[in-house]
Amino acid sequence: MEKFELEPKLKDEIRSRVLGDGFMKIVQSVRRGGAVFRIAMRPVEIGGERRFQAEMTDDGQVQVKNLDADAAAAGLEEILAQKGARELHLMTGRGDLHVRVTRKGRVVVSRSAEMDREVVVLPHDRVKRLPLSAFDSAALLRATGIADGSGKVRASMRGKYDQVNEFLRMVGETVRHDGQGSFTVVDCGCGKAYLTLALACYLVEVMKIPTAKVVGVDRRGDVVESARRMAAQLDLGGRVSFEEADIAAFTPPGGAADMVVSLHACDTATDEALAKAVEWKTKYVLSAPCCQHELQKALGHGRSAGGDAFAGLLRQSILRERLCDILTDSFRAMIMRILGYRVQVVEFVSPDATARNIMLRCESGVKSGQAAAVGEYLALRDFWQVTPWLETRLAPILSKHLERFA
Ligand SMILES: C[S@@+](CC[C@H](N)C(=O)[O-])C[C@H]1O[C@@H](n2cnc3c(N)ncnc32)[C@H](O)[C@@H]1O
């Protein structure tokens, strides 16, 4: 057997799991230089018959084919014959199989515990496509520089392309709107506006919210200027606008917003965006924090917060940094929960792409000031003997809830 090759027994297992009952999805990703070649196959239903849908993504170009059982079996053989470092993930109703072939050709196999998962086979037209392929995004991708003049995604922008897709996918999963009435979004710390512009297109063209208006806010005049030029070039004038301002100093028209997004705005700018979302009575918040320095200062060397048990951890700067990131995001999630938001902390892009891949997905609609939420927050805060910046910032709204349980 050659290096990089899967054992015959493992190949047989994969064949029987893909071609047998309970198959859900197989995905193989192969890195070639800077680019990733990805092939995914899943069962679909076409005209009442079982078929397989294969989606090939090569350096950002996506091709989708519907296959009958013979063609799917042939496609699977190509997947299994692949050489080089790669990752293969197979999902079935009974559980998952994960195969990683390292750069040195070592094959590492892991299996989830046995499970009894429901297998839903969707009609082929309901299988989700990449959000950027769900509308004519060619001009957008060219104008933002994600694609070159011929429409091909640039190798250097591959990560951005994936990030925009994942972000739009999350917007699609989060927002519910009947297309009537206004829908105002504020993108806090919009930077070069890749997400702002894509979001404006997606809300109108895919989510069918013709009234959607997106405002990008950034304190850097140069990025705001270039974002305005791109919006004009794309003829998005009515849907998108940009303001040069600090998030703290910005208020949307009417003083309210339906959605606030904040991706990788630095340090406490994320807190400011969350605070604004609360003050603007925003229904949806999607926030991916960036660098977070505040707690690191508070838990610096020599500090015994958390008890001496943590001294060894806090002394190591990398571990201290990661711990502080996790604590900061936990405090944020808990404060939003106290203030009436249902909060999920999710990974929104692969950890391979960036370590900063945590997103807080918040939706208003739960009772604020619930004893359990306040109690959990106070217990964690008092254990670490810190006052998170978001608590200070939102004191006028938050303190009445905290004081009742202090
Ligand atoms: C890393 S970039 C992220 C850009 C964009 N959200 C994205 O994910 O592609 C962060 C941006 O936030 C802006 N920013 C940071 N703090 C800010 C603040 N307090 N007010 C306004 N903009 C801010 C910076 O100027 C920068 O353009």
pLDDT of residue 351: 65
**Least confident span in 79-93, 124-138, 325-339, 380-394:** 124-138
Q: 155 alpha carbon to ligand 1 midpoint, in Å?
A: 24
Q: 286 alpha carbon to ligand 1 midpoint, in Å?
A: 14
Q: Which two tokens stand for residue 70?
A: 């013979």
Kindly tell me if the per-residue pLDDT of 302 is higher than 60: no
Q: 309 alpha carbon to ligand 1 midpoint, in Å?
A: 37
Atom of ligand 1 nearest to the CA of 272: 19
pLDDT of residue 307: 66
Q: 226 alpha carbon to ligand 1 midpoint, in Å?
A: 14
pLDDT band, very low/low/confident/very high, at 352 (cuts 50, 70, 90): low
Kindly tell me if the per-residue pLDDT of 304 is higher than 60: no
Q: Quick count: other Cβ atoms within 10 Å of Cβ 43?
A: 21
Among 174-178, 267-271, 318-322, 359-363, which range has the highest average pLDDT?
Answer: 359-363
Sign, CA torsion 334/285/250/143: positive
Choosing from 146, 161, 171, 190 the residue with most ligand 1 atoms within 8 A of its CB, the one to mutate for a pocket test is: 190
**Under 8 Å between Cβ of 320 and 296:** yes
Ligand 1 pocket, 222 CB below 6 A?
A: no
**Under 8 Å between Cβ of 305 and 385:** yes
Name the residue among 79, 117, 96 with its Cα closest to residue 25. Answer: 96
Mean pLDDT of 119-126: 68
Percentage of residues in the chain having pLDDT higher than 90: 59
Q: 253 alpha carbon to ligand 1 midpoint, in Å?
A: 21
pLDDT of residue 126: 60
pLDDT band, very low/low/confident/very high, at 310 (cuts 50, 70, 90): confident
pTM (2 decimals)? 0.73
pLDDT of residue 125: 63
Atom of ligand 1 nearest to the CA of 245: 21
Which residue in the block uniquely carries the two structure tokens 């502080």?
Answer: 324
Q: 347 alpha carbon to ligand 1 midpoint, in Å?
A: 20
Ligand 1 pocket, 6 CB below 6 A?
A: no
Parallel, antiparallel, or unpaired: how do β-strands 212-218 and 240-244 relate? Answer: parallel
pLDDT of residue 167: 93
Choosing from 187, 195, 219, 223 the residue with most ligand 1 atoms within 8 A of its CB, the one to mutate for a pocket test is: 219
Nearest CA to ligand 1 atom 8: 263
Ligand 1 pocket, 189 CB below 6 A?
A: yes
Q: Could you give all domains of the chain from N- to C-terminal order, each with its CATH number?
A: 8-127 (no CATH), 133-403 (3.40.50.150)
Ligand 1 pocket, 90 CB below 6 A?
A: no
Ligand 1 pocket, 249 CB below 6 A?
A: no
Nearest CA to ligand 1 atom 27: 191
53-109 pLDDT, tens per residue?
A: 998 887 666 778 889 999 999 999 999 999 888 999 999 988 889 999 998 889 999
Choosing from 171, 196, 199, 264 the residue with most ligand 1 atoms within 8 A of its CB, the one to mutate for a pocket test is: 264
pLDDT of residue 250: 97
Kindly tell me if the per-residue pLDDT of 350 is higher than 90: no
Distance CA 249, CA 273 (A): 11
Name the residue among 325, 212, 224, 215 with its Cα closest to residue 267. Answer: 325
39-48: long-range contacts, CB 8 A cutoff, minimum separation 24: 39/75, 39/79, 41/67, 41/72, 41/75, 41/76, 41/79, 42/127, 43/121, 44/121, 44/122, 44/123, 44/124, 44/127, 45/121, 45/122, 45/123, 45/124, 46/123, 46/124
Choosing from 160, 218, 389 the residue with most ligand 1 atoms within 8 A of its CB, the one to mutate for a pocket test is: 218
**Under 8 Å between Cβ of 141 and 132:** yes
